Amino acid sequence: MKFLPFLRKRLLYVSMLAFVFVASTAFAFTENPIQSRLLNLLNLKNNLPEIPILKETSNYPVISAQAVLAVDVASGVTLYEKDAEKKLLPASTTKIVTALVALDYYPLDLILTVGKVKVDGQKMNLIKGEQMKVEDLLYGLLVYSANDAAEVLADGYPGGRPAFIEAMNNKAKELNLLKTSFSNPSGLDGYGHQTTAKDLVLVSEIAMQNPVFSKIVGTKQKTVASLDGKTIHKLTNINELIGKVEGVMGVKTGWTENARENLVTYIVRNNRKVMIAVLGSQDRFGETTELINWIFANYEWQKVDSPHSP
């Protein structure tokens, strides 16, 4: 019996050696988060993005919108800001999140049957009983800003419209849209239905990384049809800047009488990527164009020596 304590010690010693060997082998042959982060920091100087620097002689444009945020996507540097965290009505910019929730759940080729859809505002005139592919409904949603397309996508979700709206709010939390909440999928004014320019820039940067979303919002015109081909819907993008202003790739318009004119815009020009959100404007297309021209005329992109350079 005196042998047992000795045996236990030996077994413990062997187990510890085995643990050390396995742990060290795992460290050597698998990616270690701490090790990877150190390597990234060591290589940071070579991978730093070019930083936009505002010319000293620049005059800021005067914008009527209630809130504005323009951001250099690569560096995250703010290029222009006005009340960017003010809670405002999103109108149809809501449909950015509507689309993301739909893309999370639905296969693009899934067929949805249009139910009894009664909505105010912009419509692609879907007919009860009409069968449409999800992809075509997304074109109606994002190109033509169709409220009836939003409702059909919401109704087809497991648990129906209430569950879809809950999924939209969960998506907002997941993406850290801290001042955004939804009460409907289309963007009509409603209690607690709100967002900020900051949140819209963030969610739009994420959405544009989805190739399906980015393709759709950059489409100028599209014709879609019901499954049987009997009902045709001709869609023209509400965003007047697409195909008109150099580098504009999307993203989404919005308007209600109370919200006034909203517009989120993604621009790629001279290898620079800029996202702009304008809320509560009196002239969303004119003011966004003014901002785009001012940004590219008054900012110079420069490499910096270190992440702590001014």
**From the centroid of its chain, how far is CA 90?**
14
Helix or strand holding residue 172 (H, E): helix 160-174
String of DSSP letters for 228-296: TS--EEEEE-S-TTTTTSTTEEEEEEEEETTTEEEEEEEEEETTEEEEEEEEEES-HHHHHHHHHHHHH
- What percent of the chain is helix, strand and coil (3-state, nearest 5)? 40, 20, 40
DSSP 10-67: HHHHHHHHHHHHHHHHHHHHS--HHHHHHHHHHTHHHHPPPEEEE-TT--PPP--SSE
* 309 is annotated as an active-site residue: no
How far apart (Å, rounded) are the C-alpha atoms in residues 106 and 88?
30
58 carries an active-site annotation: no
- 159 φ/ψ angles, rounded to the nearest 5 degrees: 95, -5
- Give how far Cα 241 sits from Cα of 63, 92, 173, 179, 283, Å: 18, 17, 30, 28, 12
> Which residue reads 């969303």 in tokens?
284
Nearest CA among 226, 269, 224 for reference residue 247: 269
Which residue in 82, 92, 186, 204 is the catalytic one? 92
Q: Which is catalytic among the residues 82, 133, 145, 204?
A: 145
Angle CA 63–66–70, to nearest 5: 60
Rounded distance between C-alpha atoms, residue 254 and residue 239, angstroms: 9
3-state secondary structure of 223: strand
2 is annotated as an active-site residue? no
As annotated, the active-site residues are 92, 95, 145
